[in-house]
Chains A and B, each alone.
Chain A
Amino acid sequence: MSPRRLAVLLVVALLAAPAAAQPRGGAAVIAVAGDPGHLNPAISTAGPLHAVAASLFNGLVALDEAGMPQPDLAESWTVAPDGLSVAFRLRTGVRWHDGHLFTAEDVKVGFEHILLRFHARARAGLAPAIAGIDTDGALGVTFRLHRPHPALLRQLDVTEAPILPAHLFAGTDPATNPANLRPVGTGPFRFDSHRRDDQVVLLRNPDYFRPGLPRLDRLVFRIIPDANTQVNALLANEVDMLARVAPPDAARLRGRGVTLTETRAAAGGSNCVMTLGFNLDRALPGNIALREALALGIDRQRMVDQVAFGQGRVADAPIASGIAWAHRAGALAAWAPDAAEANRRLDAAGLRRGPDGLRASLDILHFPAFARWSEMLRQQLAPLGIALRVRMLDPAALAQAVFARRDFDLALISYCNGTDPEIGVRRMVHSAAIGPVPFSNAAGYRNAEVDALFDRAASLPEDAARGDAYRAAQAILARDLPYLWLVETDFTAAWRDSFADFAPWTGQVAERAWRSR
């Protein structure tokens, strides 16, 4: 062998070595806050369900950390020049956990029979655009569209559209199918057992289509509702990873043999913005001067520092900066803290201080988990003569009070934008999204111009042109202030240093994870 050839071989061997060196085997215990209930991620968008179930399934595409589509069950795809159809080529030889072959029929049945009817975001965001789904042999699927729908590829990952086995679901009621409790997927892990409110155990799928993956033999999701107990369990080495850590707890874990990772996405949601919604149907929050004064009176950087503990950034536009091509940087720059100007605008609007120094009193609704946010708002608005009455409600009660009864002045809601404004922004500003649907247009905001811009952006083929429309809409939203976008909050995941390569920004958190010792 010539020295040169040897050198080449050596380099190749060195390059290949790290991949082979990652040890296989072992178990990882991941703490999650809520029991998933059942394990069918195609009929619900609930976070606790997706945090566990996504490891069992795949989407047609996967999204990388930047939110760009990558092959998953689909090997490749082509968008027709007119944008009215997208043809997918499926991966060959993929098997369901029960041994059946995965085919185009699974995709067709999965969408038509399950996703477009039961998965809330697929039903709201995809169903209106899809004219039909055609199979072409066992491995070809074509989505026919009513109009170009460029968001499509971002709506096909395991979070937005997990693919279920047609041989178990065709002709059944997906809401009561026994496979919801004993799920069969194509994902890196297969189902072993679920003891409710205790743990879900998944085992390595030896036939997974990505060679060499997953590396762990066993994945245990421990359901630990109390955040403090989760942190203690990690410190005591009883669990290996916390899927979500609250900002104050992250500070507690730093420097204690734990890797902390901040991401903009997590199972079930991404690009989340803590948002103050105004009930525009009521006189006080409907008064633009009051909304402007609130925007000027609130120091959002202090919220980032003292409530989010630096895990996030001031929201500087209605669309999150994580969707860079649609984000209008600096759209909210006019609303920097300025107490004098806020007072002036309130005086000018006739909202004068009473004998007790009070101009107005508003109620604010939020989940108990957001108590620190509303406390800071109370502190910051008190000098303006605006008092807040806090009404803490659990999600079910808040959804009804805000969206069905419209019994609120202010609502503090974390709106997750998703990977495309179509997924998570349209629902909060479009007039068609006003109604009893939870976490839709809380403000009750109607603006024909914004509606038209969002409709236009939804059907343009290119991200650049779509971005222009979204940016124009954001300029109007920043002026009208149906909401005050406070802070883009990041998710923090934590794992023991003996583990590596968890991917907390996707549903498939442990596909590549491995244990080093």
Chain B
Amino acid sequence: MMRRAWRLAGPLVLRAGFGVLAVLVAASLAFVLAWNAPGGPVVALAGDSVAPGQVEEIAARHGIDRPWHQAWLAWMGRLLRGDLGMSWREQQPVAALIRERLPLTLALSVSAAALAALVGIVCGTVVAARAARWPVALFAALHAVPGYVVAQGLVLVFALGLSVLPVQGIADARDPAAGGVALLLERTRHLVLPVMALALHQLCFVALLVRAGVAGQLALPYVTAAMARGRSRRGARWRHALPNALLPVANLTAMRVGALLGGALVIEVAFALPGLGRLAVTAALARDHPVVIGAVVVACAIAWMANLAADLAAGLADPRLRAR
């Protein structure tokens, strides 16, 4: 009984253990990098002018004058107790700052990933049947456009040209919605362009992957057999080739969650959205090390969980993977 339970749960427990270890190692790397980054928090804390003696006072107040391994030990001890520390600049617990920002970044990334998956799969499957090469070239070209440029282009067309969507922010600064449906509408209106800008890159990636996958499957005998049994070409593509082509897409999508979070950082700056990426950028410029490291810990944890979820989903979808 026990052995059976272990056979089922054991790999999961092991993976969870490795995951925690991976996050701790990544966070420690972030710690060492932050600690050894040129410059300190003085300019951000004291301001554009600094008085003699303030450099040393600020270093002592935040324990920056210690050697890095001592600071690392103290920090690791706190982290293992679940304490991410206090922000030097914002005078708030790092955990609270991250909790404040996380929902927006998750909403942005998840919507973008979902949009990219849906539209990407449809586009990829549609173009898989055609001999024309231009869709591939188009997706490849759009895939290479940086997120910031995409964002500016979308703003030019939809916000400044057509005036149908806002340029920036998550709320109307003059007359914010109080709650309920109005709030939901306002948030949605403000997130349409950022989600589109963030999704485009991933969308092209998915479309290219699906197109290649479906085209590959279409050449296999089982598809020919299905068509011999009377399936239409379209039916064979959507019902037979696509499901089999999707497996690697789910996996590769999960592996790109990190890239998506990185992309969210650029998009949050371009659209002035108060997400996790902005928090990390502001903190990095201010050398607010506790916040930078906290953001890395959370980003790593999210990426790891996404990979775990993808593996579990793959196992459910493909019995061959379950045996291992």
Complex CA distance for A424 and B40, rounded to whole angstroms = 22
Question: CA–CA, A44 to B174, complex, Å?
Answer: 29
**In the complex, A226 Cα to B167 Cα: how many Å?**
12
Complex interface: chain A residues within 8 A of B41 (CB): 396
A322 close to B (CB within 8 Å): no
Which stretch (B10-18, B66-74, B75-83, B281-289) binds chain A? Answer: B281-289
**Choice from B39, B45, B51, B170 contacting A437 with Cβ under 8 Å:** B51
Interface residues of A in 421-459 (CB under 8 A from B): 424, 427, 433, 435-440
Instruction: Find out whether the CB atom of A29 lies under 8 angstroms from the CB atom of B48.
Output: no
**Contact B46 A120, beta carbon cutoff 8 Å:** yes
Bin the interface of chain B by size.
Answer: 35 or more
In the complex, chain B residues whose CB is within 8 Å of the CB of A49: 47
Interface residues on A, range: 35 or more
Instruction: Tell me how far the C-beta of A291 lies from the nearest C-beta in chain B, rounded to whole angstroms.
Output: 26
Chain B residues with CB under 8 Å of A197's CB are 101, 274, 278-279, 282
* Docked-complex contact B54 and A196, CB < 8 angstroms: no
Known A-B contacts A46-B47, A175-B61, A238-B169; A393 and B55 likewise in contact (beta carbons under 8 Å): no
B220 is an interface residue with CB less than 8 A from chain A? no
Closest beta carbon of chain B to A426's beta carbon, Å: 11
Q: How far is the CB of A10 from chain B (nearest CB, A)?
A: 39
Using Cβ atoms and an 8 Å threshold, which residues of chain A touch B40?
396, 400
Give the chain A neighbours of B89 by CB distance below 8 A: 37-38
Of residues 1 to 58 in B, which have CB atoms within 8 Å of A's CB atoms? 37-52, 54-55
B179-207 contact mask (Cβ, 8 Å, vs A): 1 or 0 = 00000000000000000000000000000
Measured between alpha carbons, how far is A360 from B54 in the docked complex, in Å? 37
Most chain A Cβ neighbours within 10 Å, of B37, B45, B169, B173: B173
| Residue numbers in B under 8 Å from A176 (CB-CB) | 91
Query: In chain A between 216 and 244, which residues have their CB closer than 8 angstroms to a CB of chain B?
Result: 220, 222-226, 228-229, 232-233, 235-236, 238-239
Query: Would you call A394 an interface residue if the criterion is a C-beta within 8 Å of the partner chain's C-beta atoms?
Result: yes
A397–B37 touching, CB < 8 Å: yes
Please tell me if A401 contacts chain B, counting CB pairs below 8 Å. yes
The listed residue with most A CB atoms (<10 A of its CB), out of B43, B54, B160, B270, is B43
Q: How far is the CA of A35 from the CA of B282 in the complex (A)?
A: 8
Q: CA A268 – CA B47 in complex, angstroms?
A: 9
A226 lies within 8 A of B269 (CB): yes
A266 to chain B, nearest CB (A): 11
Q: Kindly report which residue of chain A lies nearest to residue B91, judged by CB atoms.
A: A38
Check if B139 is an interface residue, CB within 8 A of chain A.
no
- Nearest chain A CB to B310 CB, angstrom units: 31
* Chain A contacts with B in 250-302, Cβ cutoff 8 A: 268-269
A235 & B43 in contact (Cβ 8 Å cutoff): no
Q: Provide the residues of chain A in CB contact with B51, threshold 8 Å.
A: 120-121, 123-124, 437
Which of A45, A394, A424, A438 gathers the greatest number of chain B CB atoms within 10 Å?
Answer: A438
Report the Cα distance A46→B282, complex, angstroms. 14
| A124: chain B residues within 8 A (beta carbon) | 49, 51-52
- In contact, B38 and A435 (Cβ under 8 angstroms): no
- The distance in angstroms between the C-alpha atoms of A45 and B42, with both chains bound, is 11
Residues of A within 8 A of B (CB): 27, 29, 34-35, 37-38, 44-47, 49, 120-121, 123-124, 175-176, 180-181, 195-199, 220, 222-226, 228-229, 232-233, 235-236, 238-239, 268-269, 393-401, 404, 416, 424, 427, 433, 435-440
27 contacts between A and B (CB under 8 A): A37-B44, A37-B90, A38-B90, A45-B47, A45-B49, A46-B45, A120-B50, A120-B51, A124-B49, A175-B61, A175-B91, A180-B91, A181-B92, A197-B278, A198-B170, A198-B274, A199-B169, A222-B173, A222-B272, A226-B270, A229-B271, A236-B160, A238-B168, A395-B285, A404-B55, A427-B49, A437-B55
Apart from A37-B91, A46-B46, A236-B163: 13 A-B pairs, beta carbons within 8 A? A29-B174, A120-B49, A120-B50, A196-B279, A224-B169, A238-B173, A396-B286, A397-B37, A399-B43, A400-B39, A438-B42, A438-B43, A439-B49
